[in-house]
Copies of this chain bind each other. A is one copy, B any other.
Amino acid sequence: MIGIDHKRLEAQLTFFREIDKLKQVFRQTLLLDGSRVENDAEHSWHLAMMVLTFIDYAPTPDMDIAKVLKLVILHDLVEIDAGDVYTYDDFDAEEKRQKEQACADRVFNILPKDQADELMTLWHEYEAKETPEALFAGAMDKLQPFLHNYYVDHNSWRLHDVPKKRVIEKMSIIKKGAPKLWELTMQLINEADAAGLFADSVDTTIPKAG
C-alpha cells in the first residue's frame, strides 16, 4: 500500500482485536434495569457520556476534554488480564498494581512504540490522580457504579458486607475530582443508609422490592 506503514497498521489491527476482550470483563455493577451485570467496555462508554454531561462539575473550568475522554476510555484496558477488582473488596493494592502494570505492558505494547508510550503515559496519569483530568475521570469512575447501586437498590452493599463508612471513604475522590457533586453524593449516601442499604444501616429489615 502506498503511503502506508504495513507493520504499523498490522500492529494496530492486532490491538483492535485484542481490546475486544474488554467486552467480556464483567463488573459487580448491575445495569439500571437490574437484568445483568455490566462489562468494562460499557462502563467506560458510560463514563465518557458522563464526561460530556457532568462537565459542569469539573474541578477546573479549563480542563482538557480530549484528555479526560481518552483517560476514561482506556482506564480499564489493564483489566483484560487482571480482571475487575470490586471497589469494596479487601485487596492487596500492590499486587493489583503489579498485575495491571503487567497487563498494560503486554496490551499497550502490541501497538507501535509511539502509541504504546502515549497510552502508558495516559494510564499512569489516570492512576496517579494528580491532574484535574485524572481526578475528574476518577470521580466519574466512582460515581457511576455508586449511582447504579443507589438506583437499582439491589442490596449490593449489604451482600458484600460494606458499611457506610467504607462507601464514604471510596467516594471521597469526588471531593477533589468533582467537588460540586460531593454534597449530592453525601445526600444519596444518607438516603441509601436510611433505606437500609449498607451492611451497618440501622434498618436493614425493610423488605426490598423485586
What is the interface of chain A, defined by CB distance below 8 A to chain B? Answer: 1-4, 8-9, 12-13, 15-17, 19-24, 31-33, 35, 38-39, 41-42, 44-46, 48-50, 52-54, 56, 65-66, 69-70, 73-74, 111, 115, 119, 147, 151, 180, 183-184, 187
A41 to chain B minimum Cβ distance, whole angstroms, is 4
Cβ-defined contact, B13 with A147, below 8 A: yes
**CA gap between A56 and B118 in the complex, in Å:** 14
* Chain multiplicity (copies): 2
- Across the interface, which residues of B come within 8 angstroms of A38, CB to CB? 23
5 nearest CB pairs, A to B: A66-B66, A45-B45, A20-B32, A1-B183, A41-B42
- Across the interface, which residues of B come within 8 angstroms of A180, CB to CB? 1, 3-4
Known interface pairs A4-B183, A20-B33; 20 further A-B residue pairs with C-beta atoms within 8 A, sorted by A's residue number: A1-B180, A2-B183, A12-B54, A15-B53, A16-B50, A16-B53, A16-B147, A17-B147, A17-B151, A20-B32, A21-B33, A22-B45, A24-B35, A39-B42, A41-B46, A42-B45, A45-B48, A52-B70, A53-B115, A66-B66
